[in-house]
Structure 1
Amino acid sequence: MPSALRSLRQEQREVVAAQRADHKTWVEIAALFSSRYGVNRRAAMRMVHDWSQRDAADQWNARWPADPKTFKNFSYWELWPSPTGHAPSLDVLGRLAELYECSVSDLLDDCANFRSTDPAYRNKKNELSRISKGVVSSSDDGEARDLGELISTLELTDVNELARLAAEWSGTLSGSSNRRELLLKLSAGLSLAAASPALADDVKPADSALELSSQREGMTGIWRSRYTYPSSGRGKDFVGEHFVVVRQQGNKLIAQSLPHSTGSSLRIELVVDGSVATGTWRETTSPHGYYKGATYHGTLQLLVDPSTRRMHGMWLGFGREFVINSGQWSLILESSSIGKNAQREYYNKK
């Protein structure tokens, strides 16, 4: 029996290694684990990190020693919603999301979803599918009408539904196309367009800007920037971290890294619209490191936590030979002060 358990654990490690080598996110691998091993998303997110429940509790306690947990807590949260489980609070879910590098919704992805019982949701879904299949008409008037309908429908459509439709559309392409790379390229192009200075002021003072000023104030501060990136030459993923000074100017965020122990530097420019921050990044790598001071840049889109103390999302950029790479990126507020004394505390830290 013990050897069988070890064999299963080894199999899962090999699955994770292969998926990460293919630049899959923790969330994508967890979805695979849920299907293959019959576990819920909270258990799957722990398993893809190769943690036992005791390991996960140790990771929690290392981050939040003032709020210690045991393996039993993780067992109860993973058993929920069965009668023997305990429902995790929103605070717990937020910390689990930070621990597993995902969103709160990813931990509840397998829970009940009754949106399809809403007639308006079904009608909108059917309308979007109809328009997306025939947006180009034989006449100019027909094309303009369908395009206008598409734009109106997109404005009201959930991003998860858009993702599903995009994946469905990519499935109709010929097998010779690299569909994943095409979708990433489209996403990169749209993110660059959204971050264009020409669109930065494309908000209505009476609604979007007012909502932003009331809900997204106080994002100036020192933040810990953390992202994962693939290295084709070394055959595995790595983590890049910087402490950055973020300055807020209305709905714009400008982040510049503090002096780094390796000599690398990072600049991020974002435009915040509601709970989404979209923009660009540019990094000059360490002159003494593997990339010898090379400069890379790309696009970035992050979800802003309601507390405005955390942002997480994905980056896109071109690597060597113009291959599109992507990975997770998070920003966590460390200090609301950006004074000289506060900045010095984070100099040359990794």
Structure 2
Amino acid sequence: MREEVKPIEDTLPHDAMGCDPEDRKRLRAIAEEMGLTRLNVPEAYGGNPVSALARVIIAEESAKCRLGGYAPALGAFGGGPPNIIWGGTDSQIERYGVPCVEGRKSAFVAITEPTGGSDPRNNIQTRAEKHGDFWKLNGRKMWITGAKWADFGVIFARTDDGGDGKPPGITAFIVENDFKGITFNEIGVIRALSPFEIVLEDCEVPDANVLGRVGGGFNVAQTWLVDARIPYAAGCIGMAQEALDMACGWVKQRPTRDGMLEDKQAIQWMIADSEVELRAARLLVYDAATKVDAGEPAKVDASVCKLYGTETAGRVVDRAIQMFGGMGVAKEMPLERWYRELRVKRIGEGPSEVHRMVIARDKLRNTDGGMYFG
């Protein structure tokens, strides 16, 4: 990131959506040579799988760039296949997974709908009905990052309504972008990566493109979300750490009427608070990743990381802007962009309020009342 990405981003316009095709191609080649495009790919398919702990360390470092997010914001790592692809059939892996590894294809995942995305089992209204050897999908998906620019996506749809105490059946489908009946509408937002609305109108999907078992899509989604939320938090920590480091460099060289800015107690307290919170957030992420590597359940840990990591990062960048003063909101600095990016991060991958509910319910379910009420 320091040797290859940083020099390129310094030449980009302040609100650039990415680098030019030649730089993107070169960065992709470097990333492939380092094995960074295959971190979630099994060795059997040419992958370079690493531990969850290693992935979060890489995610944190890769987020320290002007464009925010992870290195894919620059096109450096490309659009790799979602981890859930590796649970597909050999044919699905060969057709969709391997081309992503080789940089020939990219993918998206579509769960969220206009009715919301925090309770996918009950909120998904997109329907899939079977007709012979194919399915017809009808419905809408919202806020799907980069969907139009990908080659295919994993789309979740309702295949039965449940009943008799059973929840609705949700199924995952691999849908190619050029299938008949699928259209994309870009949604303008405050961040660098463009989200899209996906409209499905009698979109025909072969039965062979069902990912996993029919009705088993919710479990597929949950596995993927847990795996994604921990490095998601690590990326936010990376942005915030870079902002804090920049602020420290600034106050050390900024003179005031009676000394340097770094000597002011108000500044020192902001630095101390930010450093403490970032260390705590990082240790939470490392602990969750270690549990994943040990094969332990980490759903609640992922929620803790996502909640605390995103909210901490937002506070740290806010303080950094305050320490910079007017320069903090200048377009030539990355701080105002990171500030906008991190505001979105508190919503993506599940809003903070939903993760608070997950954490609280788990605590109440697994606590007997302590010494006095047990």
More helix by share: 2
Using structure 2 for the length normalisation, give the TM-score.
Answer: 0.26
Higher relative contact order (CA 8 A, sep 6+): 2
TM-score by length of 1: 0.27
Q: Name whichever structure is richer in strand by fraction.
A: 1
